[in-house]
Amino acid sequence: MASTSPGYGITIRVEGPPSSQPVALATAVITGAGATITALDVVESLLEKVVIDITCDTIDSAHAEDITVALAKNQDLTVRKVSDRTFLLHLGGKIEVTSKVPLKTRDDLSRAYTPGVARICQAIVDDPADARRLTIKRNTVAVVTDGSAVLGLGNIGPAAALPVMEGKAALFKRFADVDAWPVCLDTQDVDEIVRTVQLIAPVYGGINLEDISAPRCFEVERRLRELLDIPVFHDDQHGTAIVVLAALRNSLKLVKKNLSEVKIVLSGVGAAGNAIARLLVLNGAKNIIGFNHHGVITNEMKSEDSMQQWFIDNSNPENFSGNISGAMKGADVFIGVSAPNVITESDAASMAPGAIIFALANPDPEIDPVIARKYATVVATGRSDQPNQINNVLAFPGIFRGLLDANAHTITDKLLVAAAEAIADCVSPEQLNASFIVPSVFDPNVTKAVAAAVKKSV
């Protein structure tokens, strides 16, 4: 059975007569149905009834419904209410704006607003660079999306993308004390996206592009970098690539292999896959065989998109033309940023000794990690309920903290590599093992180390 997850956590209020021992009865039903109980509270205990709140993690929405039905079918239990804990967390949104200064007296208002604020405006007129010193610009990032490639949900639009962008902003604040704000655009036209971001850029010290589908995301990023004097970072590309490089660097240490000598099979050559390949090649990788939904990428192919053409020119050195199962034979590394169940158990079994599998599709990976661990020495996923989570939050908070502190204007490949090395080095030789190839996202040293590496690289 698949693993339960807090992302599908529910709280069920049930009641039953004391004679039926409802606590024991309800917990037996819930655990028997495969859920993981995380909390239990007796809300009310009377002679005629006992009321209990049971919080549990389930596998998915259907599983949660199955558990509710199983409880309701028991004649000694009554289900009074079911609360979805994830929906409750999102009620009213996850972020807010608060004032950094007191606004309690006329004196406060006179300085924070009129007439005093006019002096600050005039100072910026006299010296535009003062905008960074005297406004929120120095610590503020726009999280920009068009809603065209959100998580594994696809093109769901800007309104449905907002919960993800809110979450991103919350992560910026939690891990790097960066003030970020969602900017969800109701257009998927490249010209309109670029022009809109250009127009709002004066407020921000950096732009984080998020969940914009390939190949448009490449052009949006390129044009904005040319137009703006603040750093533009597409997290789905570069954040993922940085953490993959860090994880692979440590994994290869464990299996005693060199990046320049390993055979890598890459499933998914969109924004993330292309960026991963570029960073791996920059660090010495020479044999990457890429697959998209049409099949293998071969040398004869041509693309009008420069990023895709780069991948064609820099991958598949022996011009392999078979399917992914054929490519997996003897492969040292599999990296998936594509879709569920792309490779099979026999594919994993056919890999070289000391194999490494990064199955990063979310929420369902390219292969069940339990099966992958039967054959691979190191297995990583994008899930928080599995060891070795390849999570962009290891990268982007520290990267923007460093960029903002350095008043940086551009992002370079040198900077991306430095960030990856900083993440990898947060795992000491004593800590490094097959289940711990990257640090915890809650390790306070990660953001500091990445920020320092970025500042040094600017």
Q: What is the pLDDT of residues 344-377, one digit of tens each?
A: 999 999 999 999 999 999 878 999 999 999 999 9
Cα 389 to Cα 201, 380, 381: the distances in Å are 33, 6, 5
> Quick check: is 62 in a domain?
yes
Q: Check residue 104 and give its pLDDT.
A: 94
Q: To 10 degrees, what angle do helices 444-457 and 413-425 make?
A: 150
Residue with tokens 């492969």: 331
Q: What is the mean pLDDT of the chain?
A: 94
3-state class (DSSP) for residue 394: helix
Indicate the residue among 198, 230, 262 that finishes a domain. 230
39 φ/ψ angles, rounded to the nearest 5 degrees: -160, 150
> Quick check: is 135 in a domain?
no
Q: 53: domain CATH number?
A: 3.30.70.260
Q: Check residue 86 and give its pLDDT.
A: 93
Going through 268-377 in order, the beta strands assigned E by DSSP cover 288-292, 295-296, 333-336, 356-359
Do 189 and 331 fall within a single domain? Answer: no
Q: pLDDT band for 305, please (50, 70, 90 cuts).
A: confident
Among 8, 137, 168, 455, which one carries the catalytic annotation? 168
Mean pLDDT of 234-246: 94
Do 48 and 146 fall within a single domain? Answer: no
3-state class (DSSP) for residue 161: helix
> Quick check: is 453 in a domain?
yes
Do 181 and 244 fall within a single domain? Answer: no
DSSP string, 86-112: HHHHHTT-S-----SS---SHHHHHHH
168 in active site = yes
Contacts of 6 (CB under 8 A, 6+ apart): 38, 57, 85, 385
Amino acid at 266: L
Q: pLDDT band for 96, please (50, 70, 90 cuts).
A: very high
Do 220 and 241 fall within a single domain? Answer: no
Q: Check residue 229 and give its pLDDT.
A: 95
8 in active site = no
Amino acid at 186: D
pLDDT at 407 over 90: yes
Q: pLDDT band for 306, please (50, 70, 90 cuts).
A: confident
> Quick check: is 372 in a domain?
yes
Q: To 10 degrees, what angle do helices 396-405 and 413-425 make?
A: 120
- Quick count: other Cβ atoms within 10 Å of Cβ 152? 13
CA distance linking residue 389 with residue 366, whole number of Å: 14
Do 166 and 292 fall within a single domain? Answer: no
Q: Cα torsion for 17, 21, 26, 31, to the nearest 10°?
A: -170
pLDDT at 445 over 90: yes
In 3-state terms, the chain is what percent helix, strand and coil (to 5)? 45, 20, 40
Indicate the residue among 62, 90, 118 that finishes a domain. 90
Q: Check residue 384 and give its pLDDT.
A: 78
Q: 80 lies in which domain range?
A: 5-90
3-state class (DSSP) for residue 157: helix
Q: Check residue 271 and give its pLDDT.
A: 85
Do 431 and 327 fall within a single domain? Answer: yes
Contacts of 126 (CB under 8 A, 6+ apart): none
Q: 171: domain CATH number?
A: 3.40.50.10380
Mean pLDDT of 392-421: 95
Mean pLDDT of 393-401: 96
Q: Check residue 173 and give its pLDDT.
A: 97
Do 157 and 37 fall within a single domain? Answer: no
| CB neighbour burial string for 349-359, b if at least 16 within 10 angstroms, e if fewer | ebbbebbbbbb
Rg (CA), the chain: 25
Cα 361 to Cα 187, 218, 339, 367: the distances in Å are 26, 21, 6, 9
Q: Say if residue 128 is preceded by a cis peptide, omega within 30 of 0.
A: no
> Quick check: is 109 in a domain?
no
Mean pLDDT of 187-203: 97
Using the Cα atoms of residue 250, residue 255, residue 260 and residue 266 in order, give the sign of their dihedral: negative
Q: How many domains does the chain have?
A: 3
> Quick check: is 128 in a domain?
no
Mean pLDDT of 205-222: 93
Mean pLDDT of 253-278: 94
Among 49, 73, 113, 414, which one carries the catalytic annotation? 113
> Quick check: is 110 in a domain?
no
Do 433 and 392 fall within a single domain? Answer: yes
Do 258 and 407 fall within a single domain? Answer: yes
Q: 305: domain CATH number?
A: 3.40.50.720
Amino acid at 82: V
Q: pLDDT band for 385, please (50, 70, 90 cuts).
A: confident
> Quick check: is 118 in a domain?
no
pLDDT at 1 over 80: no
Do 348 and 444 fall within a single domain? Answer: yes
Do 289 and 367 fall within a single domain? Answer: yes
Mean pLDDT of 314-328: 95
Q: Check residue 116 and give its pLDDT.
A: 93
Mean pLDDT of 165-187: 97
pLDDT at 291 over 80: yes
Indicate the residue among 230, 247, 272 that finishes a domain. 230
Do 286 and 317 fall within a single domain? Answer: yes
Helices (H), 233-343: 240-255, 271-282, 306-314, 324-328
DSSP string, 428-447: -TTT-BTTBSS--TT-HHHH
Report the DSSP pairing between strands 378-381 and 356-359: parallel
pLDDT at 18 over 90: yes
